[in-house]
């Protein structure tokens, strides 16, 4: 009968495989070449014993690798052209920069279920924009890997090792601005990804409208659509008799083309149609007119997430709650009438 998995050590694997402990370490880390036959013997012994290699092991002496993993969860984060991915490029680049400043390695983990990832020597892992009840968080926790999230898992907002954005405050401020500028029918074009960005902004829009007894209109556009595909939905909406006089688009990739659709239909922005976006990028900044947008403050998100991860790895006490920062609302000509 094999030893219970919770008690299995690297020494047990070495004994079963008939090799030195260092050979087992090299088999999992790939830090030194060993023969294919020896490696297969070590892996077979580990499977038989139910041994789950600790990806955080740097060496048998320190148990640390000096490397933190990064998992970018939105499935459409890097689709399309490079300029469409600006929002997430900022986040990934900022995390990398913050890690370099602290002399800590960073590795991008594209698929946590890939068997090769089990051998990635991560001390901890930052998971960016997780989904509701995200299986990646569940799996990392099962493996005993310390996790910090950029944005909360919307089904597990109580998890304390997180940095999240205060969407209600800033989205409400945006909607108040649109109302002050004369908007009476505000439509929200939200995304399909089940993350905090979509959930919290949609919840805030619905709650704000209920408080002010405003009618609501929520249109769902997949983040995976091309701008041309998305504009078919926007065009249909703006052709209606009781069309909205303000639209809030989830992504700036879609907000900028929406201004073109408005011009095509003879609607002047902002006098006849105001346009705003829930992300900010070169698309919204350089549109004609420039588009009001909520910047997700990814540089600060990255800085705080890295600080939180290194604090967790150093043995800091668990925070009482997630760290909250504010997005930045950039008001521009697309929503300023008069």
Task: Compare 242 and 88 and report the one with higher pLDDT.
Answer: 242
Residues 126-150 pLDDT 10s? 999 999 999 999 999 988 899 999 9
Which ranges of 72-226 would DSSP assign to H, the alpha helix? 86-101, 135-142, 167-180, 196-211
Q: By C-alpha distance, which of 45, 37, 1, 5 is closest to 21?
A: 45
Q: Give buried/exposed letters for 62-96 (b at 16+ CB in 10 A, else e).
A: eeebebbbbbbbbebbeeeeeebbbbbbbbbebbb
Q: Locate 332 and state its tokens.
A: 């521009």
Question: In a 10 Å sphere around its CB, with 0-12 CB exposed, 13-18 middle and 19+ buried, how is residue 235 labelled?
Answer: middle
Structural domains of the chain, with CATH: 5-49 (1.10.260.40), 67-165+298-327 (3.40.50.2300), 167-295+330-335 (3.40.50.2300)
38 and 27 Cβ atoms separated by less than 8 Å: yes
Q: In this model, does residue 60 exceed pLDDT 50?
A: no
At 62, the pLDDT band (50, 70, 90 cuts) reads very low
pLDDT band for 61, please (50, 70, 90 cuts). Answer: very low
Neighbours of 9 (CB within 10 A): 13
With H, G, I as helix, E, B as strand and everything else as coil, classify residue 249. Answer: strand
Confidence at residue 22, expressed as pLDDT on a 0 to 100 scale = 74
Cα torsion angle, 52, 53, 54, 56, sign: negative
CA 101 remoteness from chain centre: 22
Residue 113: pLDDT above 80? no
Over residues 197-238, the pLDDT tens digits come to: 999 999 999 999 999 999 999 999 999 999 999 999 999 999
Q: Among 21-35, 101-115, 141-155, name the one with the lowest average pLDDT.
A: 21-35
At residue 42, the pLDDT reads 86
- 292, 331 contact by CB (below 8 A): yes
């Amino acid at each position: 009968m094999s030893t219970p998995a919770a008690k299995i050590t690297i020494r047990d694997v070495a004994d079963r495989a008939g090799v030195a402990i260092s050979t087992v370490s090299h088999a999992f880390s790939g830090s030194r070449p060993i023969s294919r036959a020896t490696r297969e013997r070590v892996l077979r012994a580990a499977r038989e014993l139910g041994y789950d290699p600790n990806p955080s092991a740097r060496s048998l002496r320190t148990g640390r690798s000096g490397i933190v993993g990064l998992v970018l969860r939105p499935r459409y984060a890097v689709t399309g052209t490079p300029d469409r991915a600006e929002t997430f490029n900022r986040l990934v680049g900022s995390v990398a920069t913050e890690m370099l400043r602290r002399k800590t390695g960073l590795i991008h983990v594209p698929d946590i279920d890939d068997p090769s990832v089990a051998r990635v020597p991560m001390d901890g892992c930052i998971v960016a924009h997780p989904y509701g009840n995200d299986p990646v968080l569940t799996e990392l926790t099962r493996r005993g890997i310390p996790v910090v999230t950029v944005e909360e898992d919307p089904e597990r907002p109580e998890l304390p090792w997180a940095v999240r954005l205060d969407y209600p405050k800033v989205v409400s401020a945006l909607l108040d601005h649109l109302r002050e500028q004369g908007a009476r029918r505000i439509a929200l074009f939200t995304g399909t990804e089940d993350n905090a960005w979509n959930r919290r902004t949609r919840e805030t829009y619905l709650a704000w409208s209920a408080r002010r007894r405003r009618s609501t209109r929520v249109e769902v556009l997949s983040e995976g659509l091309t701008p041309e595909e998305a504009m078919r939905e926007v065009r249909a909406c703006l052709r209606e008799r009781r069309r909205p006089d303000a639209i809030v688009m989830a992504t700036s990739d879609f907000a900028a083309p929406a201004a073109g659709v408005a011009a095509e239909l003879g609607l002047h922005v902002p006098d006849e149609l105001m346009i705003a976006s829930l992300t900010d990028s070169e698309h919204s900044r350089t549109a004609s007119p420039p588009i009001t947008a909520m910047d997700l403050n990814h540089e600060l998100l990255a800085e705080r997430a890295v600080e939180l991860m290194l604090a967790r790895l150093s043995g800091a006490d668990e925070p009482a709650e997630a760290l909250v920062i504010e997005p930045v609302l950039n008001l521009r000509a697309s929503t300023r009438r008069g």
